[in-house]
Amino acid sequence: MSALASPAMTGAPLGDSAAEPIAKRAAEPLIRFDHVRKTFGGVVAVADLSLDIEEGEFFALLGPSGCGKTTLMRMLAGFETPTSGDIRLAGKSLAGVPAHKRPTNMMFQSYALFPHLSVWDNIAFGLRREGLNAAAIRARVDDMLSLVQLTAQARRKPHQLSGGQRQRVALARSLAKEPRVLLLDEPLAALDKKLRGETQFELTAIQRRLGITFVIVTHDQDEAMVLADRIAVMREGGIEQVGTPAEIYEAPVSRAVASFIGEINLIEGTVAHADARETALDAPALGTRVVASPAGAARAGEAGCLAIRPEKVAMRRVNGHSDGPNTLTGTVSDAAFMGEDTLYRVRLETGHLIKTRRSNTRDGGTIRLGDRVVLNWDPADAVFLER
Amino acid sequence: MTRFGWLNAVSLTFGFAFLYLPILILVIYSFNASKLVTVWGGFSTKWYVALFQNAQLLAAAKMSLLVAVVTATLATVLGTLAAIALTRARRLPARTLFQGMTYAPLVMPEVITGLSLLLLFVALGIDRGFWTITIAHTTFALCFVAVVVQSRLTAFDMSLEEAARDLGASPVKAFCLVTLPLIAPAVAAGWLLAFTLSLDDLVIASFTSGPGSTTLPMRIFSAVRLGVSPEINAASTILIAAVAIGVMTATLAAKWGARRETRSQ
């Protein structure tokens, strides 16, 4: 594996047998989960899941705990075997390939640094297993140490490092072998909030620089949004939606996705009419009809749900008569100051609460608790959800 | 914490006196210049000198040491393997039963263990001697090793071994390079425990020994039946010292290992 010695390693294929047939098969993505199913003694962890991950992507598996995201990652790493279905890497099935022969490396949630080895030896561990000569190992470890800025701590033992430093050792160790795919299991969960913010940018910078495919498992939607090029939202062993952070945020396909990612107003109702232009919903909770304009496949009479993000709901004080589609009046019930903006909850005459977010700038005048306000939104910003 | 009152002091004194007074008397009399066991005739180390000239006793001591070293080594290997199997095989059916069966010999009366092994060796037609004693000692010592190593393994973070495999180490390599160094203190403690258990065993050795394979406790016991000699006191003192050092080292090794682990987390 001579490529290891060169610091420029953008997408350099490994000399591993599993990585050989990468010869630009455009049809096949780097990783393909093909109808993968995994059960643990009757309990379904992953249910008939198919998913493609492209080369060079920063991909996030996002979902609440127990949704199967960790099991999916462990199957890719080789620590679990699918009950049925196939996982392919660069067009080759991984079935029967043991963990230590896969061109994937994993950064563990607990970091799993070897406590009896120094930082240097931790990073060198994987390289030594390949039988590289001492000079190549030294060069590579030193490269990795400078990548994560830990050259001065090379001789320390893991217990002599801070949490952030340990995290970087874990990252360096898993990158040292220049894997085709780097798997990150909740990589930032153990860090405090400020450090997490800094590390997020560091991770994306390193990923861009190395061009390695990153697959991250997280339950933190903000983390997934900031880091990933694409996100798969998982729920109960299956995939709810795959898309870019913007797609998932702006156009969720189900109530589960919509409510898992960020704040949202979900308005239940019955479809009054639907055509290619808009979907209108009679919402008893609001006592009125609301409209979403992205075209859906809904039919009149069906039950459904209209989803609108709080920052898309405009709010102003009542002055005179207001009318038009998606216009509601109510009273400001409470306000949560969040720094750059404030999240208000407005109680309608029916008692239903609508959330709206307002930037804390001077324009627009102040709104106080108890004020009578008018809410409205552009139909194009609302989404109609059938599920 | 409750106050260390006079009642505690008295009960502690009585307790320790009960445990250690006989041993203390034995140690003191091993330095007795007089041949009479009950009469103090001044300080002397002549019985230690005599001891090292007693070929029979020396041969028995050599036999005991050899049995103890081989036993400890065999028991450590087997006991560690048993501990690994019991810790890892979470989905093994009847795991609790296996666990209980590993621990049962700990509480089995030695006479029964000794007798059953004797019957086995006779039935198989094995000549009794060094190897039968060693096998018998290994059988009960490995349970102790299994207990010590298992308590360490249950607290072991399995993701460390997974990380080693992920980085290209085969399962065996991962165990040798990561798990074994980290559980080494417990394994060492198990070895020392097995060593001392074997060294001071009389009952099981009596059942399974043959002509020409007499261990030190057996030699001491038979010598005492002919009258207590101060030489035996000296031999016993050395045995006590060996066992005490073994147990203390085992305890310290286990403690040191546990502390190193907590520090790293």
Asked if the model's pLDDT at residue B199 lies above 80, the reply is yes
> A112 and B91: CB-CB below 8 Å?
no
| Chain B residues touching A14 at Cβ < 8 A | none
Highest mean pLDDT among B104-108, B131-135, B153-157 belongs to: B131-135
| pTM as predicted | 0.76
- Domains of chain A (ranges, CATH numbers): 2-103+179-250 (3.40.50.300), 263-385 (2.40.50.140)
Distance from CA of A182 to the nearest CA of B (A): 11
- Across the interface, whether the CB atoms of A79 and B163 are under 8 A apart is answered no
Instruction: Please tell me the predicted confidence (pLDDT) of residue A373.
Output: 84
Question: Cα separation of B180 and B76, whole Å?
Answer: 13
Contact between A99 and B162 using a beta-carbon 8 Å cutoff = yes
Mutate to test the interface with A, among B161, B166, B173, B262 (most CBs of A within 10 A): B166
* Closest chain A residue to B165, measured at CA: A100
Q: With bands split at pLDDT 50, 70 and 90, how would you rate the model's confidence at B67?
A: very high
- CB–CB of A115 and B174 under 8 A? no
Q: Exposed, middle or buried: residue A103 (CB in 10 Å: 0-12, 13-18, 19+)?
A: buried
- Identify the residue whose tokens are 């217990």: A159
Cβ-based contacts of A159 with chain B (< 8 Å): 263-265
Which pLDDT tens digit goes with each residue over A297-343? Answer: 777 778 888 888 888 888 877 776 667 777 888 888 888 888 788 88
Helix/strand number for chain B, H first, E second? 12, 0
Cross-chain Cβ contact B167/A129 below 8 Å: yes
Q: What is the ipTM of this complex?
A: 0.76
- Give the closest of B167, B264, B265 to A126, CB-based: B167
Nearest CA in chain B to A107: B163
**Mean pLDDT of the region B200-207:** 90
The reported pLDDT for the residue numbered A26 is 54
Reading the block at residue A123, the tokens are: 């990073």
Chain B residue numbers with beta carbons less than 8 Å from the beta carbon of A41 are 91
- Of B168, B178, B263, which is closest to A114 when you measure between CB atoms? B178
Torsion sign, CA atoms B147, B148, B154, B159? negative
pLDDT tens, position by position, A46-55: 888 889 999 8
Across the interface, do B164 and A115 touch by the CB < 8 Å criterion?
Answer: no
In this prediction, residue A15 carries a pLDDT of 40
Cα angle for residues A357, A358, A363 (degrees, 5° grid): 170
Q: What would the mean pLDDT of B11-16 be, rounded to a whole number?
A: 88
- DSSP H or E stretch at residue A167: helix A163-175
In angstroms, what CA-CA distances link A137 with A111, A121, A176? Answer: 22, 10, 9
CB pair distance less than 8 Å for A99 and B166 = yes
Residue B155 has pLDDT above 90, yes or no: no
Comparing alpha-carbon positions, the chain B residue that sits nearest to A158 is B264
Res B98 pLDDT > 90 = no
Which pLDDT tens digit goes with each residue over B239-259?
888 888 888 887 887 777 666
CB pairs under 8 A between A and B: 75
> Which segments in chain A show pLDDT lower than 50?
1-25
Q: Which fold has domain B54-264?
A: MetI-like fold (1.10.3720)
Q: What is the pLDDT of residue B259?
A: 64
pLDDT of residue A230: 93
The confidence score (pLDDT) of residue A2 equals 39
Q: Quote the pLDDT of residue A302.
A: 80
pLDDT at B265: 43
pLDDT of residue A330: 84
Amino acid, res. B173: K
